[in-house]
Amino acid sequence: MKRLFIAIKVFPDPEFIRNYTSLIRQMAWHRIAWVEPGVMHMTLKFLGSTAEDQIPVIEKAMTGIVKEMSPLDFQFSQLGIFGSSYNPRVIWLGAPQPEKLSIMGNTVLDGLHQAGFPRDRQNFVPHLTLGRIKKVENKKMFQETIDQFRNQLVIDGTIREVLLFHSTLSTSGPIYKIIKSFALS
C-alpha cells in the first residue's frame, strides 16, 4: 500500500519566502507544523492508502482527465485559517479568484470518482496549506499576526502539469516522491 495524492506543485519566489519566514518567526510562541516552501502544493485529491495495483487505474484516469485541460495561471494571496478563531486548525493561502481552480479540482475529483475513487464529503476549496496548528498560546496575538500578514503572502504561477505523489510520513515531516506527471494540453 502507498499513501497517494494528486496535486499541483507551486514554486514560491524569494519575496514569498522572505515574508513566510517572517510570519513563522512572529508565530514562534505557538506550536505550528509549518510546510517547507520547497514542498508546497495544492492537493486536488487525497487518495490515502492505496494498493499498488490501483496506480495504473489512477494513471489511466488522470491521462483522460487532463486531456481537456489547458495550462492555467493562478495566484494564491488570501491568508486564512480553517477552524474557528477559538480553535484554529490550519493556516492556509487561498486564491482571490478561485473559480478556474475550483473547476479544475472538481474535474479531477469527478473523473477519479468515475474511476472508482469516491469524492470527499466536503467541497473542494483551492488552497495551499502553510501550517498545521498544534496549539495557540495567545489567540488575540495569533489573530493579530494573521491580520498583519493577510496581504503579504503571494504565490503566482502557471499550472502546466498535475502530479501523482507518493507520501511517506517521517518524524521530520512528510517525504514526497512524484510517481507520474500529467501534462496539460
Please tell me the distance from the alpha carbon of residue 43 to that of residue 63, in angstroms, as a whole number: 17
- What residues contact residue 181 under an 8 Å CB cut-off, 6+ apart? 161, 162, 163, 164
pLDDT at residue 7 in the model:
98
The CATH code for residues 2-183 is 3.90.1140.10
Most distant CA pair in the chain, distance = 49
Please tell me the distance from the alpha carbon of residue 126 to that of residue 100, in angstroms, as a whole number: 10
pLDDT at residue 75 in the model:
97
Residue ranges per domain, the chain?
2-183
- pTM given for the model: 0.93
3-class DSSP state of 47:
strand
Chunked into runs of 10 residues, the chain (185 residues) has average pLDDT values of 97 97 96 95 96 97 96 96 91 96 96 94 92 94 94 96 95 90 95
